[in-house]
Amino acid sequence: MGLKTFTIDFAELASKHYLYGSYKYHFLNKQVKKEKYILKSRIFYNFDVFTGYAFKSEYYEKDGVKLLRIGDFNNSGDVCFDSMVFLPEEYFEKYKRYKVKNKDIVIALTGATIGKTCFIDELNKKVLLNQRVGILRAKDEKINCKFYYYLTKLYSFQFQIQIDSMGKGQQNISPSDVSKIKIPLIPKLKQDKIVAQIKPIEKKIKKLKAQITPPQKIINKVFAREFGFDLEKFEKSKKEKFFEVNFSIISKTNNLKFNVSTSLSNKINFQIPNVKYFKIKSIAKSIFAGGDMPKDFSDEKNEIYQYPIFSNGKEKFGFIAYFKKARVKEKAITISARGTIGFAVARNESYFPIVRLISVIPIKKFILNEYLANVINFQNIEKSGNTIAQLTTPMVENIKIPIPDLRKQKKIVNEIKAELNKQEEIKRKIENERNKIDEIIEKAIKES
């Protein structure tokens, strides 16, 4: 029998679910088929699905209406209102279609959180959407939106499977893509009953969330207590618009130069009395930026691909994949050069850094690895640039940091670690409660 050949457009190849080249798609799709229930209805039968307006970026920094944009979802699928940008007040009336309303389900259409949803409840802010975030809005009273929000969270994997089957991968999805996603149909009476059953669990989760303290606040509190640093006074000083200075010193001080491409705004110029400061380059063996992303890598760790690849970002602490070689084999810290600029992580394992990540290998006899990461985060480095904020290796080299003796460094590290461990325990409790909600939804679907 002769060899048969055929030709096909690659775009068409990627769109065929049985030829789709994604291990994750085929593996998870197989898992879904094992379930006793099936996804019965497309979302658009029950919901209007639409996205926001393509607002021009020049309006992003103006006071007024808050704009929900990509990046406002965290790992749990919650909206982080504090990270929004602003639009003028008149936009809120001009673009009524894109207003966020109570009982809306908001879905991320692009980025690492693609397919994740959040429920808008008791909204007391004026919020608009841009084109990177979508809305699922119930068409009639037969839908309990809170129930379907729980369902979309439970089905986040299945959402991703169906998104992948469209050939979208991790790139982006549109409202029309979301409309094609299938979901179970549950009678309204049962929806209401399940939401009532979940209500006390949500109440407990809300209480636990109130106990969570952001890592930056923990680090600031410990350093302030140990060094007698007046955080309140520092915060007030940041709001001051005018100050007196001898102009002769401006040209000699990097942080006061009339050049936004080299200016830093952090706690460097607000030094703690009676504490010795050293430039990072004087306590480091090496400081360097990461290289290009290797073309040959693995998503899974194995005997060949053993070393993590790290980039900038707080998501998974910058983890990307695994590589065959490690560029850094000693204890080191990494600092994000863009995006989450100045975010430092202590790395105690060998790793391979890539672009937008600066590595610092400390001299052990001067400074502890964990202390260096914590003190960099305490400095809360921010850079002002003409367009995109970027931290450079020379800037890192010249940052001055307070360095006490190793005994005090260890005390600070242990205090911060103990507080962060408490926060992790609270997060574990929240996750356990969320698993209870998933179990309730799963049971309801299987019984329907």
> 362-382 burial string, b = 16+ CB within 10 Å, else e?
beeeebbbbbbbbbbbbbbbe
- Assess contact for 393 and 289: CB atoms under 8 A: yes
- Decide if 211 is inside a domain: no
pLDDT of residue 29: 44
Q: Is 195 helix (H, G, I), strand (E, B) or coil?
A: helix
Task: Indicate if 164 and 237 belong to the same structural domain.
Answer: no
Task: Indicate if 16 and 97 belong to the same structural domain.
Answer: yes
Handedness of CA 181, 184, 189, 194 (dihedral sign): negative
Residue 48 belongs to what domain range?
Answer: 10-185
> Between vectors from CA 434 to CA 212 and to CA 25, what angle results, nearest 5°?
115
Structural domains in the chain (count): 2
> Looking at 185, 215, 244, which one is the last position of a domain?
185
- Assess contact for 364 and 343: CB atoms under 8 A: no
- Assess contact for 28 and 17: CB atoms under 8 A: no
Task: Indicate if 139 and 238 belong to the same structural domain.
Answer: no
**Which of 143, 77, 66 shows the shortest CA–CA distance to 106?**
77
- Assess contact for 335 and 376: CB atoms under 8 A: yes
Cα 319 from Cα 325, distance rounded (Å): 15
Task: Indicate if 174 and 302 belong to the same structural domain.
Answer: no
Task: Indicate if 172 and 239 belong to the same structural domain.
Answer: no
Task: Indicate if 64 and 146 belong to the same structural domain.
Answer: yes
Q: How far is CA 391 from CA 164, 241, 312, 385, in A?
A: 35, 24, 11, 10
- The two tokens of residue 14 are 């990627």
Q: What is the dihedral of CA 316, 322, 325, 327, to 10 degrees?
A: -20
Task: Indicate if 181 and 281 belong to the same structural domain.
Answer: no
> Between vectors from CA 321 to CA 71 and to CA 9, what angle results, nearest 5°?
85
- Decide if 353 is inside a domain: yes
Task: Indicate if 152 and 265 belong to the same structural domain.
Answer: no
Count CA atoms closer than 13 A to 328's CA, side-chain side: 29
- Decide if 311 is inside a domain: yes
- The two tokens of residue 146 are 């809170």
Cα 178 from Cα 47, distance rounded (Å): 10
- Decide if 408 is inside a domain: no
Q: Is 384 helix (H, G, I), strand (E, B) or coil?
A: coil
- Assess contact for 391 and 360: CB atoms under 8 A: no
> Looking at 165, 185, 205, which one is the last position of a domain?
185
Amino acid identity, residue 85?
V
- The two tokens of residue 205 are 């989760």
Max Cα separation, the chain?
90
Count CA atoms closer than 13 A to 410's CA, side-chain side: 6
Q: What is the dihedral of CA 247, 251, 252, 256, to 10 degrees?
A: 80
CATH number of 165's domain: 3.90.220.20
| Residue matched to tokens 């990627």 | 14
Task: Indicate if 47 and 138 belong to the same structural domain.
Answer: yes
Cα 79 from Cα 73, distance rounded (Å): 5
- Decide if 149 is inside a domain: yes
> Between vectors from CA 162 to CA 161 and to CA 163, what angle results, nearest 5°?
90
pLDDT of residue 71: 45
Cα 147 from Cα 441, distance rounded (Å): 8
- Assess contact for 188 and 146: CB atoms under 8 A: no
- Decide if 444 is inside a domain: no
> Looking at 403, 422, 437, which one is the last position of a domain?
403
- Assess contact for 334 and 362: CB atoms under 8 A: no
- Decide if 332 is inside a domain: yes
Task: Indicate if 165 and 31 belong to the same structural domain.
Answer: yes
- Decide if 148 is inside a domain: yes
- Assess contact for 43 and 115: CB atoms under 8 A: no
Cα 71 from Cα 151, distance rounded (Å): 22
Q: What is the pLDDT along the chain (448 residues), one digit of tens a residue?
A: 455 555 555 444 444 444 444 434 443 344 444 444 445 677 778 888 888 777 665 555 555 666 665 445 555 556 655 556 677 777 778 888 888 888 998 888 876 677 778 888 877 777 888 777 888 899 888 889 999 888 877 765 555 555 555 544 446 777 887 887 777 888 899 999 999 999 999 999 999 989 999 888 899 889 888 887 776 766 665 555 444 444 444 344 444 443 333 444 444 445 666 778 899 999 999 999 998 999 899 988 999 999 999 988 777 888 989 999 999 999 999 999 887 888 999 999 999 999 889 999 999 999 999 999 999 998 876 543 434 468 889 999 999 898 999 999 999 999 999 999 999 999 999 999 988 998 898 888 777 6
Task: Indicate if 148 and 260 belong to the same structural domain.
Answer: no
- Assess contact for 3 and 154: CB atoms under 8 A: no
Task: Indicate if 250 and 162 belong to the same structural domain.
Answer: no
